[in-house]
Structure 1
Amino acid sequence: MKITITTASVFVDDQAKALDFYVGTLGFVKKTDVPAGEFRWLTVVGPDAQNGVELLLEPDEHPAAKVFKAALLEDGIPFTSFGVQEVGAEYERLVALGVRFTQPPMSMGPVTTAILDDTCGNLIQIASMP
């Protein structure tokens, strides 16, 4: 069996706000936007991988999702991680745009990471390897 990851989710408290942040600030590209009841099937992709894995900006309406997100946030644990070319440069770019970081760039052996607040109830790690 050949199997691949096509979609991953991040739970968000407001899809419109999430789309603005993930596209307008982080630099993703909107891929799919289809009505789904009172919400939308709303996905974004990396600008250099528009046929790659889609990130679903999924409403956090299920009670378990809210509890899960709150627990991760309280413990300072990122919901997911995105690869960037150079964490230091991306950190500076995002700080200039007003993004709040809970962890500035930190070298962890072969990887450098930083953790940001996505404004939608999640901490997101950015990471790069030399």
Structure 2
Amino acid sequence: MRIHLTSVFVDDQEKAHDFYTRVLGFETRTDIPLGDGNRWLTVGAPVDDAVQLLLEPSAHPAVGPFRDALVADGIPATQFAVDDLRAEHERLVGLGVEFTMPPTDMGPVSIAVLDDTCGNLIQLAQMAG
């Protein structure tokens, strides 16, 4: 068994698609219209074809309070691995990305947390070694 698909709820799929592809550097894997302006819209890392991230519409009534609580407590919706956290932080800041936590060493891992502009906090992590 392995992870194939996970999702993050987004306020605006088009805005999220732009952020996750143009800014973060993911590639579009699937983009299928579902009606009512919604899409089955997935992205993935250029170096990994196995795992996809579904940019899921946040219309369900439970999503708003859940995400608001996570953001208020500073809890990321998901985590992405990076090879060089400080370089990635610098690149993203240069593109106007706002971070709620700058690169911070936490023992065997260094982390930073960014705002994805679509209602979520996203954690970036670099393992030591």
CA deviations on 1:2-57 (whole Å, 9 max, x unpaired) are: x22110000000000000000000000000000112200000000111x2110000
2:68 is the alignment partner of 1:70: yes
2:118 is aligned to: 120
Normalising by structure 1, what TM-score? Answer: 0.96
Q: Name the amino acid aligned to 2:96.
A: G
Number of residue pairs the alignment of both structures matches: 127
CA–CA separation in structure 2 for the residues paired with 1:114 and 1:127: 7
Q: Name the amino acid aligned to 2:28.
A: K
2:43 is aligned to: 44
2:107 is the alignment partner of 1:109: yes
Instruction: Give unmatched runs, 5+ long, in structure 2.
Output: none
Which one of 9, 22, 25 corresponds to residue 24 of structure 1?
22
Q: Name the SS of the counterpart of 2:68 in structure 1.
A: helix
Q: Name the SS of the counterpart of 1:63 in structure 2.
A: coil
Q: Name the amino acid aligned to 2:114.
A: L
1:89 is aligned to: 87
CA–CA separation in structure 2 for the residues paired with 1:7 and 1:35: 18
1:34 is aligned to: 32
Q: Name the amino acid aligned to 1:59.
A: P
1:57 is aligned to: 55
The alpha carbon displacement at 1:86 in A equals 1.0
Identity over aligned pairs, percent? 59
The alpha carbon displacement at 1:66 in A equals 1.1
2:4 is aligned to: 6
Q: Name the SS of the counterpart of 1:5 in structure 2.
A: coil
Q: Name the SS of the counterpart of 1:52 in structure 2.
A: coil
Q: Name the SS of the counterpart of 2:47 in structure 1.
A: coil
